[in-house]
Amino acid sequence: MFKALMISFYWKIMVAAAVHGLLDESATKAAALTTISSLRQALQAMNHLQEASSLLYFEVQLIAIPEEAIHRLQSFLNVLNGDKWDVERALTLAEIFKLQLQSSDDPVRSKAEDTFKEAEELFNKISHTFGNIDLEFTRISSSHTFSAEEKFVQISSLVERYFEVNHYGQMMLCLTTALSEPVDAYVEQVKYATELQQQLADEMGSEMMQNAALMRAAGSANLNASEYGFALNALEPQYRNLPEEVDPKSHSLLVTTMSMIYGSFGNNMEALKAAEESLEIAKSGQSYQACSDAAFILGLRHLSISEQYPRKSAEDIKWLSSAMDILKGWIESDAENGYTDGEIQKCILVGKWENLRASDEPELKITPVEKPWIERVKKLLPSQTGALKQSELVDLEVSMLMRQENFLESSKLSTDYLNDLDKLSFVPPMIKAQAYSRAALQAWLFYRAILGENKATTAEERLQATTQLWSALDLANKSLQQWRQTSSSELIIRSTLALGSLLSDVIQTISDDLERDLLSGFMDELQKTETLCDDMRRSVIPIEGLASLMNKRLLVAKVSSLKIYNLGLRIALRLNDPAEAWTWLQKGKSRAFSDSLGAKLSVPQRILQRINSDQIACDLLKAEQMHLDALNQPGVNHILVARELTSIRKRVQEYPPLAEIARIRNTTLNLEIDPECLDTALSRTNLSRERVKFVDWYVPSSKTKDNPQIICFVRTLDGTTRTKQLAISATQVEAWVSKAFTYPDMAEHPLNKKTGNRLLQEMNALVDWLTDYSETGDLLVLSPSGKLNNVPLHALFIEKRPLVERNLVVYASSAAIMSQCLDRSASGRNCEERNTEETTAFLAVYEEPLHVDERSLIFSHIKALSKVLPSNVLVGPEVTKSRFVETSSTATWLHYHGHARYCKEDVLKSSLILSNGEDIFDHRNAENPLLGRDELSVVDIFNTTMPQGGVHFTIIACESAAQDLSPGDEPLGIIPALLHAGATSVLGCQWPIKSSAGRAFSEAFYDEVKYMRSTTIGGNQTVNLAQALGITVGKMRRGELGVHYKQAFCWASFAMHGLWFFPSFNGET
């Protein structure tokens, strides 16, 4: 008996290895079948029927044809005579029942119900603990009448029954089966099931089950926009550090999943790399299906990359062609290897591509290029295939008919298919959404065909066209509502945009009142979809600093998401609602950066004191911190912990005593600035609320045909918002930026020529309108959009002087960034009180042997400034990376004079040039340009820790204020890095300046700072940075600091980012 048991275990191990791609699956199963069958027959002949039954159940799993397996089981059943073998008879009947349901032979399938009843009676007779549960499990999982959603619900109900009888192995199998199909309508139940699966895996101590639970959780998270980040953070560490012993099939599946996750983030090149890797891994194993599935994903990745380029461009054609080559090659391979599902899947995709290609080629208008692929799929599908499984085929066929403008047939096919779906008891929302979407597109194309271009139409034709258009709108809305029942976020976003596009046609045909009603209703839909985009971004929990920010930026940059914000803004403008339009404009700005800043904000002491007396609030914050800490632990299922953290944060947000913390973190689109904090800041600088204006610009794409003009916004703290359309377009701005900042190497900067001031004023139209919307001395918070980030808006003229001289001017990527800086300045110091000299630092690095005189002047200049504002001084070799970081950790005011390097190719490599500690004049190779140098990169700055409370940086260095702006106006550069690290205000240079100009500016600027400190009343030592900047710029522009600094090149480069004031030096009140 022991030998038989060992042989059985051996072959089970070999078969498991083959299933995972380590061995040839077909050959291994054949050898196992021969051995196990012989051994089973020998045991049966010796009347060891209990042992023989165990081998038989393994044996039938190795037989491909259900009827043959049934015959062997039936033969064995005939020898099980008498009550003694009731258990074996029941278990054998259960196996027969399972195989009968799998059979394609109708007479065999018809016997299944009788077998079920016979087995059920025996299980009841012997009071078997789980036999009847197994029968129900088999019935449900084998059913062809249940939808995936119905199966999920019914199989999930069996989990509790297995739990009650302590059958954990079958409970895990049940969970895995329940989660094997997309179940869009039951997202919350899926979350619960995956959590239960993880818990069970933990209890059983199975690493394989734990990995399966993680993969299952990641799969469901990747379908749900609000959990994209969870999926990435959960699987990426496992992807990067996979054990060497993992089998090819599991390895390939993991890498394929990573490819899909990267694709969800819009990171198509990483997705392509992972897809290529997945195929290579699959090829190293023995599973053809794994290879074919990986090839399909690779083809999809090539198609996704092609979509990044303009239609019919060389790059688009290249990637499309490579995708089709991959898919067509594997289609033939699938046919040779009998992988029908893979062949169908790829044929449909190639057919869709043929449809897209023919749509761009007028000469192919009536040619049915899709037909061969349609016919091939029809031959592959069984004759009795139900409506649900024909969805993709119908979609392709309708697309072909619509392309050929055969609207009568396409309409009939769409309508018939919808009618077929209506006859079913349950249709997955995704299938129904696709059907409605297909019918909507068909109706819209029919509408366009009736009207034609410059085509004369009759009243009857116009009525018919209008009917089709309204039908399209209705069907598109139904499609969107069905998509909302799924977790397919990308398709919800696309469906929303499609509905908006149809609406733009409809409103051309209706009255103003009806237009307002329709647009207002659609705005509600848009808000729901925007929440999805918001959840998508927030799913990347900022626990990894810069890495988290970069992943958030990828999600923000998705074209479909950007279109949602743009559409919301345009509809709000059409509804004549400037406040709502401004909100949408802000929603589309710097959201990833704002998230990251919010995560680093400290809770002010006054709030902490209030919370400490509330036990519920304390418990919630402790639970939140515990889960944040857990996310950084190796081996944790990131998805489940992140879901729990999201749940806790929702409770934090809903608990009134913690509402202020939620506001600080999530602020702010409606200027929810802490009134107490704001009033204190304004009183310090003698400003009233009415004097604060948020200034923004909507810059329509320059690619639009009519080249629309820029629209400006001014919003006050009470929410009043006014707009004005400017007499300048995005195209004009782009032309000016090119003229002002594109010039040959070694040539003079255009703004430094005698015509520099005149060139600058060509853009005055961007700000001169503020004469009617603001008063002299108002605080203006500028949040430029798109190309305007390359224009020195603060230096443009209004009322014959630069804006920065007329007003207090600061830049903030969005209102949220300004609010977060304000909150940070009020959070209080986190270090013991020290005198000003200990918390103020002046640093200078100019390690250039060929500019010794300038180096000496800079060092003398820095030492002189330190007398104006007592401080710690570091120069030359003293300013190493470690000393800079150390000084930044305690300094609340830091001034740096030196070089900055802006890297356009990779802004993360932009840096401040420091010293490596070597004295260049004590070295023989003093002419080496890199001698004595080190760099503090953007990455280094992001990882720097600064004191709490107000922190100011002055960076007098070339292009220190230059930023990389990704889609969504997401900033990245030295200044954003400083703000992220803890600074509340940064004064920098927008383009390269002369070192001598930087010295002249700094000397005058600190004279103003000194004067402000000497004239303040009482203990208020607040420095009005924006005012000091404006006064200094004015002196420079008028030639008071030297006639050679009068051109815009010198004075217009200096700009303030963040707060307009510095609250106080450490130790001051």
pLDDT (tens digit per residue) in 1031-1066:
999 999 999 999 989 999 999 999 999 999 998 765
| Averaged pLDDT, 986-1004 | 92
**What is the distance between the alpha carbons of residues 16 and 61, in angstroms, rounded to a whole number?**
12
* Percentage of residues in the chain having pLDDT higher than 70: 79
Average pLDDT for the chain: 82
- Of 283-292, 393-402, 994-1003, the range with the lowest mean pLDDT is 283-292
On whether the CB atoms of residues 1067 and 806 are closer than 8 A, the answer is: no
Does 654 have pLDDT greater than 80?
A: no
Does 716 have pLDDT greater than 90?
A: yes
Q: What is the pLDDT of residue 608?
A: 63
Does 832 have pLDDT greater than 50?
A: no
Does 21 have pLDDT greater than 70?
A: no
Does 517 have pLDDT greater than 80?
A: yes
Q: What is the pLDDT of residue 580?
A: 94
Cα–Cα distances (Å) from 35 to 7, 11, 21, 54, 877, in that order, read: 9, 9, 21, 14, 78
Q: What is the pLDDT of residue 132?
A: 85
Choice between 499 and 213, residue whose per-residue pLDDT is larger = 499
Tell me the pLDDT tens digit for each residue of 871-918: 899 999 999 999 999 999 889 999 999 988 877 777 788 889 899 888
- Of 189-203, 332-346, 480-494, 754-768, the range with the lowest mean pLDDT is 189-203
Choice between 778 and 76, residue whose per-residue pLDDT is larger = 778
Q: What is the pLDDT of residue 183?
A: 44
Tokens at 979, concatenated: 């703000």
The answer to whether the Cα torsion of 872, 873, 878, 882 is positive or negative is: positive
Q: What is the pLDDT of residue 671?
A: 47
Q: What is the pLDDT of residue 342?
A: 92
pTM score, whole prediction = 0.76
Does 441 have pLDDT greater than 80?
A: yes
280 CB-near residues (< 8 Å, 6+ apart):
none
Does 42 have pLDDT greater than 90?
A: no
**What is the distance between the alpha carbons of residues 808 and 825, in angstroms, rounded to a whole number?**
18
Does 632 have pLDDT greater than 80?
A: no
Q: What is the pLDDT of residue 179?
A: 47
On whether the CB atoms of residues 8 and 58 are closer than 8 A, the answer is: yes
On whether the CB atoms of residues 658 and 665 are closer than 8 A, the answer is: no
Q: What angle do CA 1018, 1024, 1028 make, to 5 degrees?
A: 125
Does 204 have pLDDT greater than 50?
A: no
Tell me the pLDDT tens digit for each residue of 93-120: 988 988 888 776 778 888 888 998 988 8
Tell me the pLDDT tens digit for each residue of 188-201: 444 454 455 445 44
- Of 88-97, 452-461, 584-593, the range with the lowest mean pLDDT is 452-461
- Dihedral, CA of residue 599, residue 604, residue 605 and residue 607, to nearest 10: -100
Does 662 have pLDDT greater than 90?
A: no
Tell me the pLDDT tens digit for each residue of 234-281: 566 666 666 665 667 677 777 887 788 788 778 889 899 999 998 998
| Averaged pLDDT, 665-680 | 63
pLDDT band at residue 20 under the 50/70/90 scheme: low
**What is the distance between the alpha carbons of residues 823 and 726, in angstroms, rounded to a whole number?**
34
Does 431 have pLDDT greater than 90?
A: no
Q: What is the pLDDT of residue 152?
A: 65
Cα–Cα distances (Å) from 432 to 322, 390, 428, 469, 547, in that order, read: 32, 12, 7, 20, 39
Does 1019 have pLDDT greater than 90?
A: no
* Torsions phi, psi for 500 (to 5 deg): -65, -40
Q: What is the pLDDT of residue 826?
A: 76
Q: DSSP assignment of 18-59, as one string? A: HHTTSS-HHHHHHHHHHHHHHHHHHHHHTT-HHHHHHHHHHH
Choice between 546 and 763, residue whose per-residue pLDDT is larger = 763
Choice between 165 and 447, residue whose per-residue pLDDT is larger = 447
Q: What is the pLDDT of residue 234?
A: 59
| Averaged pLDDT, 472-496 | 89
Q: What is the pLDDT of residue 963?
A: 65
Q: DSSP assignment of 282-336, as one string? A: HHTSS-HHHHHHHHHHHHHHHHHHHTTS-TT-HHHHHHHHHHHHHHHHHHHHHHH
Helix (H, G, I), strand (E, B) or coil at 808: strand
Cβ count within 10 A of residue 1019: 8
On whether the CB atoms of residues 289 and 25 are closer than 8 A, the answer is: no
Choice between 21 and 570, residue whose per-residue pLDDT is larger = 570
Angle between the N-to-C axes of helices 340-359 and 288-306, in degrees from 0 to 180, rounded to the nearest 10: 20
**What is the distance between the alpha carbons of residues 863 and 610, in angstroms, rounded to a whole number?**
45
Highest-confidence range of 103-107, 350-354, 458-462, by mean pLDDT? 350-354
Does 214 have pLDDT greater than 50?
A: no
Choice between 630 and 333, residue whose per-residue pLDDT is larger = 333
**What is the distance between the alpha carbons of residues 940 and 942, in angstroms, rounded to a whole number?**
5
Q: What is the pLDDT of residue 1065?
A: 67
> Whose CA is closest to 911, among 935, 893, 934, 927?
935
Tell me the pLDDT tens digit for each residue of 840-873: 999 999 877 778 888 899 999 999 998 888 889 9
Q: What is the pLDDT of residue 422?
A: 86
Q: Which residue type, as a one-letter code, is found at position 434? A: Q
Does 569 have pLDDT greater than 90?
A: yes
pLDDT band at residue 215 under the 50/70/90 scheme: very low
Does 522 have pLDDT greater than 70?
A: yes
Does 486 have pLDDT greater than 60?
A: yes
455 CB-near residues (< 8 Å, 6+ apart):
none
Q: What is the pLDDT of residue 203?
A: 47
Choice between 444 and 907, residue whose per-residue pLDDT is larger = 444
Does 207 have pLDDT greater than 80?
A: no
pLDDT band at residue 777 under the 50/70/90 scheme: very high
- Of 184-193, 320-329, 369-378, 909-918, the range with the lowest mean pLDDT is 184-193
